[in-house]
C-alpha cells in the first residue's frame, strides 16, 4: 500500500499542532497530503467563522469534526451548544464532539450531574437533527470525571444515546471513540461493536497514553506508538464495527506543541503509515 | 450516637500515617480508640513478622487487611503471594488485598495481562482457601491500568472472582472496595450490590479524590470530605449490600504524610464521625 493511499482517511486535529494558526494547519495538511482536519472552535473564531469555512473548503479538506460542545452542567450551555451546531453547518462538518462537563460547581452529586447531561443532550438533539449535525459524546478518561466529563465509558455514552432516542426520536446521538480515554475499559471492544451496529461511531480519535502521567494530567498524550495502548487493535475494531470515517489524531502534549508543526505532522503521518494503515 | 460507638468499625491503614513505625501506629490507635488497623507488608517486615503479630494482638486491635499481594504479571509472583498469605495467618487477618499488576514489561497486550491475572489468582486461590485467607482484588483507578493494576472496575474484579470459583471451586475471592479508585464508575452501585449479594466485599477502604491531580498521580488522595467523592453514599451502599466489616482509611498524600501522625489520626476520626457514622 502506498503512503498516499494510506492517508486517505487521516485527519489532523488542529490542537495537535497547537501553535499553528488555522491557516498554517490547513496549508500543512495540503502540503503533506493529509485530507482531513479536525477543528476547534477557538481556532475557528480566531480566523473568523466564514473565512475559516472558505479556507478549508477551498483547500479541499474534509472537516472531520468540530470540538467542542457540551458542558451541560454549566449555566448557559444550551445557547452555546446551539451556536456550536450552527458553526458545524457553516464549516461543512456533520459531527460536533461533546465534552459533557463535570460535577455541578460545589457539588459531589455525580448521579445528578449525569442526569443533567442526559437532559441537556435530549434537549439539544432535536436541534442537531434539524440541522443535520450528529452529536458525538466523548467519554473522557475517569481521571477527568469530576471536572470535565461525567461520561467515563463508551457504554455509558451509548446508554445516553439510546435514552435520548427513546425520549425524542432523534437518532443523531452517538460517540467519539478516543483511544486515550477508553483503552483501559474491560468492556470497550464489545461496546465498540455495539456502537458500530447502531451506527453511533461518529468519530475516531487516536493518540497514545503516556506513563508516567505528567504534572498536568491533561497533557499526557503521545504520538501513536509512544505510549501503552495497542492502538491498531482499536483501529481494527472500529473498522470491523462498520466505521468508515477518518482517523483523527488529537494530541495534547507540551513537548509536541513546542515542536514545529511541520515536524509534528510528519510524525503523525509516519506513525499512521507504520502502525495504522496496514490492518 | 457517641463518638466511641461510631468508631467501632474504623480502621487505620498504616500508610495513612506513613512516617509512624508500626509500633507508633499501634500505640496511636490504642490511644485514640481506633479498634482496627490495616497493615502493609513493608512495615510488618521492619518490625519483624512475629513481633508485629504479637504487638497488634496484645494491643487488642483487629487487623482488617494486609496489603498487598498480586502483581501477577511479574516474575516470581506466585511464591511471594503464598508468603503473603502465610503472613496474613500469622498476623491474624483473613484478608489479603491484591493489587494485580499492570502490563507485562514492554508489552501493550492488555487482554494478555488480564488473562495472566485471572490465571494467577486461580492458581493462588486454593492455597488461600486452605489457609482461611480471603483474596480481595482491588480495582485501581484506570489511570494506573498500565503500570499497577489491569483490573479497573469492581465488575471486572467480580467477573474474575466468579471465573476462579468456576475453575477451582474456591469461594474465597472477592474485592476490596476503595472509594478513591471506583467512585467514577457508572455501574459501581449495582456492582456493590452484586458483590455484597455474593459475599464478596472483603474490605472497604475510604479516601477522597483530590483535584487537580498532583504531579505524582499516586498521591492525589485526601481525607474523607476533602475531595470530590460522596463517600457517605459508598458507606451506605456497602452496608446495604451486607458488608459488616470495618471502614479502613488509606490515604497516600505527601502533605498528610508530613503531618504528625497523632494529628492525622485525629482528622481521620473526626471525618469518620462527622461524615460516615450516622448513616
Q: Between residues 143 and 182 of chain A, which touch chain B (CB distance below 8 Å)?
A: 143, 145-147, 152-153, 155-156, 159
Q: Where does the pLDDT of residue A1 fall: very low under 50, low under 70, confident under 90, or very high at 90 and above?
A: very low
Per-residue pLDDT for A279 more than 60? no
Per-residue pLDDT for A4 more than 50? no
Question: For residue A218, which residues of chain B lie inside 8 Å, CB to CB?
Answer: none
Which of B142, B184, B215 is nearest residue A184 as measured by Cβ atoms?
Answer: B142
Question: For residue B155, which residues of chain A lie inside 8 Å, CB to CB?
Answer: 186
Question: For residue A100, which residues of chain B lie inside 8 Å, CB to CB?
Answer: none
pTM greater than 0.90 (yes/no) = yes
**Region B174-186: what's the mean pLDDT?**
98
Question: For residue A185, which residues of chain B lie inside 8 Å, CB to CB?
Answer: 142, 152
Per-residue pLDDT for B201 more than 80? yes
Whether chain A has a CB inside 8 Å of the CB on B114: the answer is yes
pLDDT, one tens digit per residue, over A75-106 is 889 999 999 999 999 999 999 999 999 999 99
Whether chain B has a CB inside 8 Å of the CB on A215: the answer is yes
- The C-alpha atoms of residue A54 and residue A34 are separated, in whole angstroms, by 18
Cβ-contact B195, B175 below 8 angstroms: yes
Determine, for residues B209 and A146 on separate chains, whether the beta-carbon distance falls below 8 Å. yes
- The C-alpha atoms of residue A240 and residue A243 are separated, in whole angstroms, by 7
pLDDT, one tens digit per residue, over A111-125 is 999 999 999 999 999
Determine, for residues A142 and B142 on separate chains, whether the beta-carbon distance falls below 8 Å. yes
Which of B145, B186, B230 is nearest residue A109 as measured by Cβ atoms?
Answer: B230
Question: For residue B190, which residues of chain A lie inside 8 Å, CB to CB?
Answer: none
Determine, for residues A142 and B184 on separate chains, whether the beta-carbon distance falls below 8 Å. yes
Which of A159, A186, A212 is nearest residue B152 as measured by Cβ atoms?
Answer: A186
Please choose, from the candidates A133, A109, A106, the residue with its C-alpha nearest in 3D space to the C-alpha of residue A121. Answer: A133
Whether chain A has a CB inside 8 Å of the CB on B185: the answer is yes
Whether chain A has a CB inside 8 Å of the CB on B49: the answer is no
Determine, for residues A184 and B110 on separate chains, whether the beta-carbon distance falls below 8 Å. yes
Determine, for residues B146 and A209 on separate chains, whether the beta-carbon distance falls below 8 Å. yes
Chain B contact probe: residue of A211, A225, A226, A229 with most B CBs at under 10 A: A211
Q: Where does the pLDDT of residue B4 fall: very low under 50, low under 70, confident under 90, or very high at 90 and above?
A: very low
pLDDT, one tens digit per residue, over A160-198 is 999 999 999 999 999 999 999 999 999 999 999 999 999
Determine, for residues B185 and A109 on separate chains, whether the beta-carbon distance falls below 8 Å. no
Position A5 scores a pLDDT of 55
Determine, for residues B142 and A141 on separate chains, whether the beta-carbon distance falls below 8 Å. yes
Q: Where does the pLDDT of residue B6 fall: very low under 50, low under 70, confident under 90, or very high at 90 and above?
A: confident
Chain A contact probe: residue of B101, B186, B190, B209 with most A CBs at under 10 A: B186
**At A203, which CATH number?**
3.20.20.150
Q: Where does the pLDDT of residue B221 fall: very low under 50, low under 70, confident under 90, or very high at 90 and above?
A: very high
Whether chain B has a CB inside 8 Å of the CB on A67: the answer is no
- The C-alpha atoms of residue A209 and residue A231 are separated, in whole angstroms, by 10
Position A278 scores a pLDDT of 65
Question: For residue B228, which residues of chain A lie inside 8 Å, CB to CB?
Answer: 103, 108, 145-146
Going by C-beta distance under 8 Å and a sequence separation of 6 or more, which residues neighbour residue B14? B20, B22, B25, B37, B38, B39, B40, B43
Measured in angstroms, the CA of A87 and the nearest CA of chain B are apart by: 32
- Give percent of chain B with pLDDT exceeding 70: 97
Measured in angstroms, the CA of B114 and the nearest CA of chain A are apart by: 9
Whether chain B has a CB inside 8 Å of the CB on A106: the answer is no
Determine, for residues B213 and A143 on separate chains, whether the beta-carbon distance falls below 8 Å. yes
Q: List the domain range (segments joined by +) for residue B206.
A: 3-276
Determine, for residues B186 and A156 on separate chains, whether the beta-carbon distance falls below 8 Å. yes
Query: What number of C-beta contacts closer than 8 Å exist between A and B?
Result: 74
Per-residue pLDDT for A3 more than 50? no
- Give percent of chain A with pLDDT exceeding 90: 96
- The C-alpha atoms of residue B141 and residue B228 are separated, in whole angstroms, by 15
- Give percent of chain B with pLDDT exceeding 90: 96
- The C-alpha atoms of residue B226 and residue B253 are separated, in whole angstroms, by 12
Which chain A residue shows the shortest CA-CA distance from B230?
A: A108
User: Strand A173-178 to strand A134-137: parallel, antiparallel, or no bridges (unpaired)?
Assistant: parallel
pLDDT, one tens digit per residue, over B12-23 is 999 999 999 999
Chain A contact probe: residue of B156, B213, B224, B225 with most A CBs at under 10 A: B213
Sign of CA dihedral B145, B149, B153, B158: positive
Count of domains observed in chain B: 1
SS3 label, residue B92 = coil
Cβ-contact B210, B231 below 8 angstroms: no
- What is the predicted ipTM? 0.96
Question: For residue B211, which residues of chain A lie inside 8 Å, CB to CB?
Answer: 146-147
Measured in angstroms, the CA of A108 and the nearest CA of chain B are apart by: 5
Cβ-contact A269, A25 below 8 angstroms: no
Amino acid at each position: 500500500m502506498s503512503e498516499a493511499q494510506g492517508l486517505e482517511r487521516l485527519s489532523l486535529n488542529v490542537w495537535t499542532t497547537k501553535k499553528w494558526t488555522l491557516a498554517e494547519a490547513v496549508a500543512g495538511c495540503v502540503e503533506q497530503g493529509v485530507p482531513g482536519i479536525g477543528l476547534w472552535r477557538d481556532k475557528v473564531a480566531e480566523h473568523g467563522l466564514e473565512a475559516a469555512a472558505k479556507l478549508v473548503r477551498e483547500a479541499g479538506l474534509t472537516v472531520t469534526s468540530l470540538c467542542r460542545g457540551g458542558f451541560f452542567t454549566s449555566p448557559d450551555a444550551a445557547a452555546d451548544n446551539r451556536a456550536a451546531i450552527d458553526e458545524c453547518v457553516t464549516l461543512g462538518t456533520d459531527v460536533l464532539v461533546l465534552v459533557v462537563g463535570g460535577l455541578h460547581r460545589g457539588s459531589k452529586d455525580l448521579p445528578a450531574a449525569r442526569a443533567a447531561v442526559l437532559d441537556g443532550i435530549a434537549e439539544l438533539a432535536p436541534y442537531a437533527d434539524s440541522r443535520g449535525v450528529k452529536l458525538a459524546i466523548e467519554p473522557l478518561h475517569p481521571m477527568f470525571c469530576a471536572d470535565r466529563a461525567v461520561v467515563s465509558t463508551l457504554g455509558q455514552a451509548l446508554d445516553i444515546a439510546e435514552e435520548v432516542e427513546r425520549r425524542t426520536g432523534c437518532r443523531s446521538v452517538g460517540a467519539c471513540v478516543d483511544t486515550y480515554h477508553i483503552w483501559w475499559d474491560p468492556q470497550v471492544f464489545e461496546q465498540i461493536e455495539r456502537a458500530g451496529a447502531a451506527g453511533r461511531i461518529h468519530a475516531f480519535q487516536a493518540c497514545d497514553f503516556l506513563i508516567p502521567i505528567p504534572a498536568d494530567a491533561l497533557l499526557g498524550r503521545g504520538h501513536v506508538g509512544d505510549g501503552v495502548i495497542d492502538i491498531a487493535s482499536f483501529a481494527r475494531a472500529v473498522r470491523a464495527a462498520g466505521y468508515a470515517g477518518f482517523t483523527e489524531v488529537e494530541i495534547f502534549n507540551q513537548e509536541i506543541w513546542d515542536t514545529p508543526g511541520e515536524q509534528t505532522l510528519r510524525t503523525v503521518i509516519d506513525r499512521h503509515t507504520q502502525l495504522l494503515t496496514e490492518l
